[in-house]
Amino acid sequence: MVRIFFRENSIAPNPHIYFFIEKFVILNIMKNILVLCTGNICRSPTAHYLLQEKLGDGYEVKSAGLGALVDHSADEMAIKVALDHDLDISKHRAQQVSEDLLRWADLVLVMETGQKNELLSKFPWLDGKIFRYGDPVQVDIPDPYRRPEGAFVMAWNFIAKFTPYWVERIKTTSINK
Strands (E), 7-162: 25-29, 32-37, 60-65, 107-110, 130-132
DSSP H or E segment with residue 6: strand 2-6
Q: What are the residue ranges spanned by the domains of the chain?
A: 31-176
CATH class of 31-176: alpha beta
Give SS3 for 61. strand
Give me the pLDDT at residue 29, please. 81
CA distance 111 to 22: 40
CB 77 within 8 A of CB 144: yes
Taking CA 134 as the corner, what is the angle to CA 133 and CA 136, rounded to the nearest 5 degrees?
110
Give mean pLDDT in consecutive 10-residue pieces for the chain, a chain of 177 residues: 43 43 49 97 98 96 96 97 98 98 97 98 96 96 97 98 96 51
CB 128 within 8 A of CB 111: no
CA distance 36 to 132: 9
CA distance 140 to 150: 17
Give me the pLDDT at residue 126, please. 97
Residues carrying an active site annotation: 37, 43, 143
Give me the pLDDT at residue 17, please. 40
Give me the pLDDT at residue 171, please. 93
Give me the pLDDT at residue 173, please. 54
